[in-house]
Structure 1
């Protein structure tokens, strides 16, 4: 690919990302104000001041827009994990990376949680899709902290799942729209204590 073609490709990609940004931002405003079932693709297109045909150039469905918004909330985690000291145990580094919230991340969490709480149960797949996509983004960075043997055992998937569950439990327990690092680390300590107690109980039973 020559430089001119590369520039055209980059420009096209930038335009596409800008279009997705506008649609997502306008959609979130609707998602926060109205019941999800009452919002149509026509509504989303009108809010973004585009035609339905143009909407489908960027997203396949209304659900995809909400999934996109949810995933953006976790897009900072891989970089934050990469920045953590390698002296930290992998789970601790991962928990701290997920728990860290700057102002923009806190606002995203507020909006996402406000929308998610109002979603009917039949849309649980949206939250599952968001979590799956974010975990997939985290795994390559986490694997840099693990040995080949640990990865072969599946420790990478186990650690991401455990960290995600601990952080999510904080919001559920505190009815909070944001996660603070002390709360998350406290939850992690409780989880560790529970695992230790359970392990001791199993050993005693043997």
Structure 2
């Protein structure tokens, strides 16, 4: 059975990617990150989801991106803004080079366990405009990984980055997830780590809109 490393944040996208990789028959190895984010709600979800899906291994990497900050997701002094569906600027919730770091860890992990496939649940259709969620970045990252790993550069075992939702809307992704049996009540998308999801940050706005377009009710509880 082929092995796949899946970046699992505990959010909607990464959870759907995990289920999709499972449906394709991969032996699953999930990797999550405690990177200094302002709350650990997603990490708790990731642990529960990994256990439910029965992955072969779930690793949580500690890396302190709060040390230099620069994002509302890591800095307590930068307020998480209200979501804007027509926003054309990179929001302050962008974490500088986060996916670059995460994919580097995933590649190292993949090389050690003999996996040639990495799954990441990013999209450049319904997203917040993050530069590290674009196909151009993923292609460059895959090229760098295969020039900087023994398996890719010397052994003829290149690593492939799979971004199955890169050209899908979130509504299309949710429909696929429903077909795969994803329990979205276990996921967390809200940028604010409060008791219930806020319903007003950028991530909540995108999620709620997607569930409505997909024709399903979001099972997560919201403040309003």
User: Shared topology, TM-score over 0.5?
Assistant: no
Query: As a proportion of its length, which structure holds more strand?
Result: 2
Instruction: Find the structure with the greater CA-based Rg.
Output: 1
Q: TM-score, structure 1 length as denominator?
A: 0.29
Q: Which has the higher contact order (CA 8 A, sep 6+)?
A: 2
Q: TM-score, structure 2 length as denominator?
A: 0.27
Query: As a proportion of its length, which structure holds more helix?
Result: 1
